[in-house]
Copies of this chain bind each other. A is one copy, B any other.
Amino acid sequence: MTDPGKEPAPVLVWSKDRRTPRRQAPSVEQIVHTAIRIADAEGLSALSMRRVAADLGSGTASLYRYVASRDDLLDLMIDTVQGEAGPPPLSGDWRADLSEVARHVRATMLRHPWLGSELAGRPALGANSLRRYDVALTTATALTPDITLAANVVDTVLAYVFGTVARELADEQARRRSGLTEDQWRDSVAPYIRDVIASGAYPQFARLVLDAEDTGPDQRFDFGLACVLDGVAARVGGTGSAGLAHS
């Protein structure tokens, strides 16, 4: 450690190595895949440009040759992930097909827990997102030829799916952010919930916590989806376009 970093001192020619063996170009796909891997494994907060570059073995600034900004990278990650499972086969039965689309979306979000928070503030205009949307629209046109109505149906179903899965993910996300283990987290939330119940200000919530039989997230999802599809069927089903009648 003889006087580190004070004198640049032109090194002897023969002692300077060829820096790095000139890594091959990372390419956009590699960057995006690496970023997705990091976000999946360690959460969005661990996803920095420096980190991606390090995992790729390249310099940080090099990434900007392929991706304009971190924001663009996130958009690319989202769209890549939307396309990772092929489109589901369509049976022609609109209800089964829309269910399948919904389950697909949920599976994608659960596989990539960062999707929920990231998708919230962005319009999904990527090629894969659009393909998914187009498939969903196709299934809905089996219910009604009116494209406006079909879009309303698809939007309703997808909104339900997104909202539900976002809440499913919220707990795990918060725990991860806090850095606690699952047990520590439970032990830190439990006393608060106990106080909330003991306060008596939230009687129904208390009843829910104490009495409810937890049916598990899958059943909850299926229940809500069934409700939404029932409602769509009731409101759009028979008629061609009387769907906008109110309440």
Residues of B within 8 Å of A166, CB to CB, are 119-121, 159, 162-163, 166
| A26 CB, min distance to chain B CBs, angstroms | 25
Bound together, the chains give a CA A167 to CA B150 distance in angstroms of 17
B125-A192 in contact (CB<8A)? yes
For A33-71 the 0/1 string (1 means CB < 8 A from B) is: 000000000000000000000000000000000000001
Q: A160-B160, A226-B231 are in contact. Are A152 and B247 (CB under 8 A)?
A: no
Interface residues of A in 196-247 (CB under 8 A from B): 196, 201-205, 207-208, 211-213, 215, 219-220, 222-224, 226-232, 234-236, 243-244, 246-247
Q: Which of A131, A153, A204, A208 has the most CB of B within 10 A?
A: A204
Q: A130-B196, A134-B202, A192-B125 are in contact. Are A160 and B228 (CB under 8 A)?
A: yes
Answer yes or no: A18 CB below 8 A from chain B CBs. Answer: no
Answer yes or no: A117 CB below 8 A from chain B CBs. Answer: yes
Bound together, the chains give a CA A107 to CA B93 distance in angstroms of 36
Closest 5 CB pairs of A and B: A231-B231, A159-B163, A163-B163, A137-B204, A156-B224
How many copies of this chain are found per oligomer? 2
Residues of B within 8 Å of A247, CB to CB, are 95, 99, 226
B246-A177 in contact (CB<8A)? no
A169-B121 in contact (CB<8A)? yes
For A119-132 the 0/1 string (1 means CB < 8 A from B) is: 11111110100110
B226-A235 in contact (CB<8A)? yes
Residues of B within 8 Å of A224, CB to CB, are 152, 155-156, 159
Candidates B122, B133, B158, B231; contact of A227 at CB < 8 Å: B231
| A235 CB, min distance to chain B CBs, angstroms | 5
Bound together, the chains give a CA A81 to CA B243 distance in angstroms of 34
Q: A156-B228, A174-B123 are in contact. Are A148 and B205 (CB under 8 A)?
A: no
Bound together, the chains give a CA A104 to CA B169 distance in angstroms of 24
Answer yes or no: A144 CB below 8 A from chain B CBs. Answer: no
